[in-house]
Structure 1
Amino acid sequence: MKNKFKVITLLGLVLVACHHNNASSLNQNSSLETFNRSSLSIIAPTGAPALAFYNYGELNNFETNTDPSNITAIMSAGQKDVVVLPTNVGVKTITTAHAPYLIAATLTFGNFYVASLNNDQDNVMDANDNIVLFQKNNVPDRLFHYIYGNTLDDGIYYVNAVSDASRALKAGTFTDEETGNTLVANYVLIAEPAYSIVKSSKESVSIYANLQEEYRLRSNNHEIFQASLFVKNTLAKVTVDSFLSSLKKDIENVIANPSLLSEGMNKAHEPQTLFGVSATMAEAVLRNNNGMGLGYKAAKENKADIDTFLALFNIEETDEEIYY
Structure 2
Amino acid sequence: MNKSTFFILPAAAMLLAACGTQTSSVSSKASSTSEGPSSKEASSSSSVDPYTFKTISPAGAPTLAYYDQGGNADFVTDTTPTNVAGQFKTNTYDAIVFDSINALKQIKANSYPFKLSNFITGGNFYVVSYGKDAAAVPTASDTFASFSENGLPDLVFKKLLASYSGYNTWAMPTVTYLPGVSDVLTALVSHTYDYYFIAQPALFAAKAKLGADASKVNVVANVRNDWKSYSGQTSIPQAALFLRTTSVEAHTNVAAAYTYNLNQRIKNSITDPAKVKASIETYSADATVQAAKFGYSAAVAYNVQKDGANGFGMVDPDSIEDNHDFVNTFIEKLGNAAYTAFDDSLFY
Counterpart residue number, 2:279: 264
| One of 142, 159, 164 as aligned partner of 2:178 | 159
Q: Which moved more, 1:157-166 or 1:27-36?
A: 27-36
Q: Name the SS of the counterpart of 2:146 in structure 1.
A: strand
- 1:209 corresponding residue in structure 2: 221
Return the alpha-carbon distance in structure 2 between the equivalents of residues 40 and 300 of structure 1: 25
Q: Distance in 2 between matches of 1:209 and 1:316?
A: 27
- In the alignment, which residue of structure 1 is the partner of 2:37? none
Using a 3 Å threshold, how does the CA distance of structure 1 residues 92 and 54 change in structure 2: closer, same or farther? Answer: same
The 3 A distance-change label for structure 1 pair 118 and 260 is same
> Among the aligned pairs, what percent are the same residue?
27
TM (norm. structure 2) is 0.77
Q: Does 1:189 align with 2:193?
A: no
Please give the alpha-carbon distance, in whole angstroms, between the structure 1 residues aligned to 2:102 and 2:305.
25
Aligned equivalent of 1:3: none
Matched, 1:306 2:327: yes
* Cα 1:153/1:222, change in 2 over 3 Å: same
Unpaired stretches in structure 1, ≥5 consecutive residues? 1-23, 174-184
Q: How big is each residue's C-alpha offset from its partner over 1:129-152, in whole Å with a ceiling of 9 and x where there is no partner?
A: 211111111122112101103985
Tell me what 1:114 maps to: 127
- Indicate the SS of the match to 2:221: strand
Deviation, 1:93, is 1.5
For the residue of structure 1 that corresponds to 2:68, the secondary structure is helix
**Partner in structure 2 of residue 179 of structure 1:** none
User: Alignment partner of 1:64: what SS?
Assistant: strand
Question: Where does 1:193-272 land on structure 2 (aligned, <5 Å)?
Answer: 193-200=201-208, 201=211, 202-203=213-214, 204-235=216-247, 236-269=251-284, 270-272=289-291
The amino acid that maps onto 2:347 is Y
Matched, 1:33 2:18: yes
Query: How do 1:127-146 and structure 2 match up within 5 A?
Result: 127-146=140-159
Secondary structure of 1:99's aligned partner? coil
Cα deviation for residue 26 of structure 1 reads 4.3
Helix, strand or coil: the match of 2:232?
Answer: coil
- SS where residue 131 of structure 2 aligns? coil
State the SS of the aligned residue for 2:242: strand
SS at match of 1:49: helix
Instruction: Determine if contact 1:117/1:206 at 8 Å carries over to the other structure.
Output: yes
Counterparts of 1:166 and 1:26, CA distance in 2: 47
Q: Match for residue 170 of structure 1?
A: 189
The residue type equivalent to 2:345 in the other structure is E
Seen in structure 2, the aligned counterparts of structure 1 residues 207 and 83 have a Cα distance that, compared at 3 Å, is: same
Q: CA deviation at 1:189?
A: 0.4
- For the residue of structure 1 that corresponds to 2:123, the secondary structure is coil
Relative distance call for 1:120 and 1:97 in structure 2 (3 A) is farther
Given that 2:122 and 2:237 are in contact with CA atoms closer than 8 Å, whether structure 1 keeps it comes out as yes
Which of 339, 342, 347 is 1:315 aligned to? 339
The residue type paired with residue 302 of structure 1 is N
- Aligned mates of 1:118, 1:195 — CA distance in 2: 15
Distance 1:321 1:171, change over 3 A: same
Alpha carbons 1:72, 1:89 under 8 Å: kept? no
The TM-score with structure 1 as length reference comes to 0.83
Work out which of the two has the higher radius of gyration on C-alpha atoms and give 1 or 2: 1
Residue 170 of structure 1 deviates from its aligned partner by 0.9
Deviates more, 1:158-167 or 1:77-86: 77-86
Take 2:54 and 2:83, find their aligned partners in 1: how far apart are those partners? Answer: 16
Alpha-carbon offset, residue 111 of structure 1: 0.5
Which of 50, 60, 65 lines up with 1:52 in the alignment?
65
Q: Tell me the CA shift for residue 154 of structure 1.
A: 4.4
1:290 to 2:310 alignment: yes
Structure in which a larger fraction of residues adopt strand = 1
Inter-partner Cα distance in structure 2 for 1:76 and 1:60: 21
- Judged with a 3 Å threshold, the aligned counterparts in structure 2 of structure 1 residues 121 and 230 are, in CA distance, closer, same or farther, namely closer
Q: Conserved in 1, the CA contact under 8 Å of 2:273 and 2:301? A: no
Tell me the distance in 2 between the aligned counterparts of 1:249 and 1:147: 32
Q: What residue identity is the alignment partner of 2:246?
A: T
- Per the TM alignment, residue 310 of structure 1 is displaced from its structure 2 partner at its CA by 3.8
Q: Structure 2, unaligned stretches of length 5 or more?
A: 1-8, 25-51, 164-169
